[in-house]
């Protein structure tokens, strides 16, 4: 048993945030203050202390990488057990090993800071997924869907119950999660040793309108919950929990407006609205309007050597029968943050004929050293041959994901680029018209080969476009790099641009500067 300790003199026990900052003050990367984390910490204190008039259940919705899990799943359990070493905590997450990683962190913090926390971990109960204090408290972790039978606790935490988009977009998995939440997780609630009501904390990033948070908020009893909703960009001072003016970034020291806008352009409006603004909407098709596309005259098209990158992108299929899908191959170039579809093959081809078409494009456009090939169907066979004989190939992923997932994470991200007028097609070209038609009706069109080819190619080119775009915007607004990565990006970008200019001035061919992509 732990001996008596006067905790009233310890300022670090005022809140989980205070504990985190005090415990890591001498670390190479100490925990730093942020207004939104301070507010979350205050909510956790009121919840744990069961203050009169406060809810006993807390829903926290915040963007990724904004510190919610570190505070709620690491420092809050450590703080709660320090305040009352007899407290038991059950923590769950999307998989058992990830949940155990939080148990391991809490155990280490409680053990390392015993002199100031006053909770001693039992020598015979020290597993990461289950450990106990000498006062009968402790922590148990489990994966969503896994058993927690035989265990109960007055503090229940569920952190990130959904792992990825595939899980979020599967109704079967959403139903399974809801079944587990209602019949397993919530049945583990029990009063503490003083008879106080149990508390529940659900922490997540919104993925889908019918995710766990969405189902909870649709229930009449959700009025008994407190919901701390902190979107990346404020929706207005009158409705923002921090009182931020509309459009203000949540954590500008780490993710300023430029970084967030760059992220929006990368993943698309719908995905950003879900993950970062916590307002998921139902998928209603890619809605790539015909008016968004930009067109170029062949005589006005930039010369091939003027492009920063030129690649081939191929969406392959099995066979060449009348009922099979088409093979779509495109030549796509990038200048800064603008993308040009320069040529296209759209035919029913078998494997050997597809290889022949790729080699023909090689001969016609030797500047396109790199080829992105869909790694499915006949693409795997073609990739094996090209890697052996040609080199400079990258395995793309499109049809390995469902249409709904591709719509959410692939097509919609490229749709955002198209909407901004950054994708150009040749005028009076039959295959360009096919691309527009297919994109306008995705995912309900009979064929999606051209859409997959285009999305795959632009996704491959986008990382360097984001870098150039972010640097240009920061320079235009005279914003200093926020961290070492940004500073190095600025330096590297400047060196590359200087070398490109020098080579162009000497009229050297730019093919040798093709980037392999990310």
Q: Give residue-wise pLDDT tens across range 458-472.
A: 988 886 655 555 555
Which pTM was predicted? 0.64
pLDDT of residue 1: 35
> What is the average pLDDT score of the chain?
83
Q: DSSP letters along 403-455, please?
A: HHHHIIIIIHHHHHHHHTT-EEEETT-HHHHHHHHHHHHTTSSS--HHHHHHH
Q: Can you give the C-alpha Rg of the chain in angstroms?
A: 27
pLDDT of residue 2: 36
pLDDT in tens, 263-296: 887 777 778 888 999 988 765 545 578 888 999 9
pLDDT of residue 240: 94
pLDDT of residue 326: 85
Of 94-98, 162-166, 406-410, the one with minimum mean pLDDT is: 406-410
Using CA atoms in the order 146, 149, 152, 157, what is the torsion angle rounded to 10 degrees?
10
Domains parsed from the chain with CATH numbers? 7-230 (3.40.50.300), 290-512 (3.30.420.240)
What value, to the nearest 5°, has the Cα angle with vertex 380 and ends 374 and 384? 115
- The β-bridge partners of 340 are 333, 424
pLDDT of residue 283: 57
pLDDT of residue 511: 46
From the number of C-beta atoms within 10 Å of its C-beta (0-12, 13-18, 19+), residue 364 rates as exposed
What value, to the nearest 5°, has the Cα angle with vertex 154 and ends 151 and 156? 75
pLDDT of residue 173: 93
Alpha-carbon span 295 to 397, nearest angstrom? 28
Mean pLDDT of 203-226: 93
Mean pLDDT of 150-157: 91
pLDDT in tens, 297-325: 999 999 999 999 999 999 887 655 555 67
* Confidence band of 481 (pLDDT split at 50, 70, 90): very low
């Amino acid at each position: 048993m732990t001996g008596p300790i006067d905790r009233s003199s310890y300022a670090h026990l005022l809140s989980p945030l205070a504990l985190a900052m005090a415990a890591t003050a001498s670390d190479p990367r100490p925990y730093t203050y942020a207004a939104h984390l301070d507010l979350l910490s205050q909510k956790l204190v009121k919840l744990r202390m069961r203050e009169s008039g406060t809810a006993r259940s807390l829903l926290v919705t915040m963007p990724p990488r904004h510190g919610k899990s570190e505070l709620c799943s690491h420092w809050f359990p450590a703080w709660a057990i320090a305040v009352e070493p007899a407290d038991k905590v059950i923590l769950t997450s999307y998989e058992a090993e990830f949940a155990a990683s939080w148990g391991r962190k809490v155990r280490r913090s409680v053990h390392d800071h015993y002199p100031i926390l006053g909770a001693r971990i039992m020598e015979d109960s020290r597993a990461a997924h289950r450990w106990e204090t000498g006062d009968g408290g402790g922590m148990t972790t489990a994966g969503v869907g896994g058993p927690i039978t035989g265990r109960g606790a007055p503090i229940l935490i569920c952190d990130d119950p959904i792992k990825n988009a595939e899980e979020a977009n599967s109704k079967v998995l959403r139903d399974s999660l809801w079944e587990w939440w209602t019949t397993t997780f919530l049945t583990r609630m029990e009063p503490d040793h003083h008879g106080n009501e149990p508390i529940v904390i659900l922490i997540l990033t919104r993925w889908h309108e019918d995710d766990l948070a969405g189902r909870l908020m649709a229930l009449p009893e959700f009025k008994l919950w407190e919901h701390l909703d902190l979107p990346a960009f404020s929706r207005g001072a009158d409705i923002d929990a921090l009182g931020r003016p509309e459009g203000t970034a949540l954590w500008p020291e780490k993710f300023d407006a430029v970084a967030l806008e760059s992220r929006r352009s990368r993943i698309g409006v719908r995905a950003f609205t879900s993950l970062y603004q916590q307002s998921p909407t139902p998928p209603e098709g890619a809605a790539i309007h015909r008016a968004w596309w930009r067109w170029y005259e062949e005589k006005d098209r930039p010369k091939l050597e003027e492009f920063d990158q030129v690649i081939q992108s191929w969406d392959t299929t099995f066979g060449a029968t009348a009922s099979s899908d088409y093979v779509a191959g495109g030549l796509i170039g990038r200048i800064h943050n603008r993308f040009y579809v320069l040529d296209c093959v759209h035919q029913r081809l078998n494997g050997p004929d597809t290889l022949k078409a790729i080699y023909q494009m090689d001969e016609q456009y030797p500047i396109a050293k790199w080829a992105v090939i869909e790694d499915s169907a006949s693409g795997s066979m073609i990739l094996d041959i090209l890697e052996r004989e040609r080199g400079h190939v990258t395995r793309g992923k499109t049809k390995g994901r469902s249409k709904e997932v591709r719509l959410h994470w692939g097509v919609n991200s490229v749709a955002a680029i198209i909407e901004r007028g950054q994708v150009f097609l040749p005028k009076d070209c039959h295959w360009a018209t096919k691309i527009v038609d297919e994109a306008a009706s995705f995912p309900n069109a009979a064929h999606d080969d051209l859409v997959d080819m285009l999305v795959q190619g632009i996704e491959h080119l986008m990382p360097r476009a984001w870098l150039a775009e972010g640097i240009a915007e920061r320079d235009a607004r005279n914003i200093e790099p926020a961290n070492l990565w940004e500073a190095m990006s600025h330096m590297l970008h400047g060196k590359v641009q200087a070398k490109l200019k020098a080579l162009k001035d000497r009229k050297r061919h730019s093919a040798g500067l093709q980037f392999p992509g990310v």
